[in-house]
Amino acid sequence: MQKLRLLLLASGLALLLPVTGYSQSVSDIADLGPEERRAYMESMSPDERAAMREKWRSEREGLSDEERKALRERMAANRPEGAGQKRKDRHAKRREHWESLSEEERAAARARHKEKKAQRRQKWESMSEEERAEARNNRRDGKRHGKQDRRQAGDETSTSAD
């Protein structure tokens, strides 16, 4: 038991070391140009990037609502042209499809959604803690439900009833 505690303490400290070496805040990175920012982030290891994201997340949590809104607007300005419009178009298309369904079709879609949700819940409850941790990490990294595969294939037409 003591060895386990020592191992956990050592691994915890090893995870904290990359965080202590970075004094860059969200505003410091935001001041960089797009190419400089990309080069800076690519120069970091995956663990260092994860630690940086956690640091930024904690900084954002400390901001007021107005500051968070201003930060979101600044970050939106850095996104490629039309990225937000594509999302809005997909949403409008899904909404239009939903509104075109009859009440019976909507009821069937809701039933399918409930069934899928129950299946996901059952699968989650049958997982071990290690499997759940891996699933959380995959979700955090965007590796859920084949999302990475669809992005690489360029499939933007896939939608979900979730």
Helices (H), the chain: 2-20, 26-30, 34-42, 46-61, 65-78, 83-100, 103-126, 129-140, 147-153
Report field, pTM of the whole predicted structure over 0.75: no
Structure tokens at 133: 């941790």
160 within a domain of the structure (yes/no): no
162 within a domain of the structure (yes/no): no
User: In this predicted structure, what is the pLDDT of residue 121?
Assistant: 94
Mean pLDDT of the chain: 77
Share of the chain above pLDDT 70, in %: 68
CA–CA separation, 36 and 32 (whole Å): 6
47 within a domain of the structure (yes/no): yes
One-letter identity of residue 130:
E
Per-residue pLDDT tens digits for 20-54: 444 456 567 767 777 787 788 888 888 888 888 88
User: In this predicted structure, what is the pLDDT of residue 157?
Assistant: 47
Identify the residue with better confidence: 6 or 158: 6
- Average pLDDT score over residue span 142-156: 54
Identify the residue with better confidence: 16 or 108: 108
Q: In terms of residue numbers, what domain contains 49?
A: 2-22+30-63
**Total count of domains within the chain:** 1
One-letter identity of residue 34:
P
DSSP code string of 47-92: HHHHHHHHHHHHHHHTS-HHHHHHHHHHHHHHSPTTHHHHHHHHHH
109 within a domain of the structure (yes/no): no
36 within a domain of the structure (yes/no): yes
